[in-house]
Structure 1
């Protein structure tokens, strides 16, 4: 996770954790039973927490300099970010994925988000994506 929280550029941070509060959540990996997001913009923070049966969105009364990811880390959550939100691309077919915490977090990340069905799958996909070596293409020769 980046510790550079001085700038107020739009950014998405993802938190992973949670206990099994519902019986079906016991099928998910411990520590990766839920995911949620914090969106930082020039005015502060918005938390998007997709819960079972509802979507909870909260605007925090804190400025963009507040270290929300650090708070999540101290609370025992795994945190990834910052990711820059990207504009959606027009698609021929709408997404047919169910509305889950993973689906909402992937939607916040945009079209470049890795495919995942579980919070742990999303976490691992983002780690792989972050550690993937970047390809550089030179289109012009250097004199």
Structure 2
């Protein structure tokens, strides 16, 4: 089992994988309206030399899709033009060993933090993650 993980880790290192985090305001569940407008959801896009993979937690389902776009496609700019705030690129970090498993719920923020690795900033809401990653609220969707 550990050999398989090492192969995966080596493959992502060799591919030069980067993580981009996108933030938006669409709320498909009533309780999400409690969150800050414009920061009610986040998801990750992983770029490598061959193209893009999107990891997006939806209500009751995790969507992971390899996008049918060329490797050089500028997905972050596409998302910005669509009105999302996008931060990145980030290099996926190494996992940190933990004595106990996390008891935090699986949310869009938890997924993005997991993709960023063990050094990801602490955050519970998309807006907290946005700010912790260096985003500025008054920007015009550009970093």
**TM-score bracket for this pair, using the shorter chain length:** 0.7 to 0.9
Counterpart residue number, 2:12: none
Deviations 1:86-113 (A, max 9, x none): 1212221122211000000000001111
**Ranges in structure 2 where 5+ consecutive residues have no aligned partner:** 1-14, 136-143
Calculate the aligned-residue CA RMSD, in Å. Answer: 1.3
User: 1 or 2, which has the higher helix percentage?
Assistant: 2
Structure 2 residue 116 is matched with structure 1 residue 102:
no
Instruction: Report deviation, 1:9.
Output: 2.4
What is the TM-score normalised by the length of structure 1? 0.80
- Runs of 4 or more above 6 Å deviation: none
**Aligned match of 1:127:** 134
Partners of 1:118 and 1:107 lie apart in 2 by: 14
* Largest Rg, 1 or 2: 1
Aligned length: 121
Extract unaligned runs of 5+ from structure 1.
1-7, 129-143
User: Could you tell me the TM-score, scaled by structure 2's length?
Assistant: 0.80
